[in-house]
Amino acid sequence: MKPITHLKSISDINRFVQSTTKHPLVSVVDFGKVDEYLEEGTRISADFYSMMFKNYCTNHLKYGRQSLDFQDGSLICIAPKQVLEMDREIEKKNDMMGWGLFFHPDLLRGTSLGNKMSEYTFFSYETSEALHLSEKEKQNLFDCVQKIESELQENIDKHSQTLIVSNIELLLNYCARYYGRQFITRKNSNVNAVLQVEKWLKDYFLTEKIKVSGLPTVKYLADQVHLSPSYLSDLLKKETGMTAQDLIHYHLIETAKNILLHTDHSVGEIAYSLGFEYPQYFSKLFKQKTGKTPVEYRNQN
């Protein structure tokens, strides 16, 4: 396995793709003008956000745990510190055409966008959850990128950051809208994933697994359906109104209710059987979700 090439600054990415640095914290790259090829197995991580749109290409990428089919008209968004790996060698510059937008978190510090970057959860999608775009959607995103590129051609002044960040925020809001559309258009596959999650959780809480392994984490649950934790939570929110963590807690509380009503086990015994090391944590969560303590629930039913 090749060592990871870590890119710390925007200047690093520009040197990597042989592009000119016009601003220390943001860069737009035309992939059609990148001459250098990337060998298979090349692994890259960066200290900045990366958004890459591909209009035509023959390669695959590995992002996170699985291969990502970087198909025509698709966009991937990568948070800082994530690792991107080339699955096949790009030998010709025409093998990959499109654009890349790279911006450092320092660009957003002190701005309203910097305070809400965590809301754009698609930067944490790790597997094959690229955003697939229609022609109109491609154009809308490209218009935003062109405005950023146009601003980068100007001399940096007191308005530069505001104008650049505003266009990045517009771009991200379009992406959020288009991902919402993608959840709807892929409803059949989404429903299947939701059903798998529901079945897996029911089985988990009905068996001794909960006693042995404790509460399942969101990551563990996402692994069962081969999705990233963020994508699974967003998918579940769209389909059920609950995040992955909410759904885990729902099944936990429903199981606890059944035990409270059909056994004489103490609250401590129930807490331990459900994977809690400390009963008070169980009681606190139960009251948070039901409005009653476990003892109150038992006595009123």
pLDDT at 50: 94
pLDDT at 193: 85
pLDDT at 97: 73
Q: Which CATH superfamily is domain 188-299 in?
A: Homeodomain-like (1.10.10.60)
Q: Which residue has the higher pLDDT, 168 or 14?
A: 168
Ranking 51-60, 237-246, 251-260, 288-297 by mean pLDDT, the lowest is 51-60
Q: Average pLDDT of 197-206?
A: 89
- CATH 1.10.10.60 segments of the chain: 188-299
- CATH 2.60.120.280 segments of the chain: 4-185
Question: What share of residues in the chain are helix, strand, coil (percent, to 5)?
Answer: 55, 15, 30
What span, in angstroms and rounded, lies between the C-alpha atoms of 86 and 67?
9
pLDDT at 212: 79
Q: Which residue has the higher pLDDT, 186 or 197?
A: 197
Ranking 56-60, 105-109, 132-136, 254-258 by mean pLDDT, the lowest is 56-60
pLDDT at 90: 46
Confidence band of 208 (pLDDT split at 50, 70, 90): confident
Question: What is the DSSP secondary structure assignment for residue 22, as one 8-state letter?
Answer: S
DSSP 130-195: PEE--HHHHHHHHHHHHHHHHHHTSPP-TTHHHHHHHHHHHHHHHHHHHHHHHHHHTHHHHHHHHH
Token look-up 């060698």 returns 89
The structure tokens listed for 51 are 């958004």
CATH number of 4-185: 2.60.120.280
Q: Average pLDDT of 124-135?
A: 79
pLDDT in tens, 143-195: 999 999 999 998 888 899 999 999 999 999 999 999 988 888 777 777 788 88
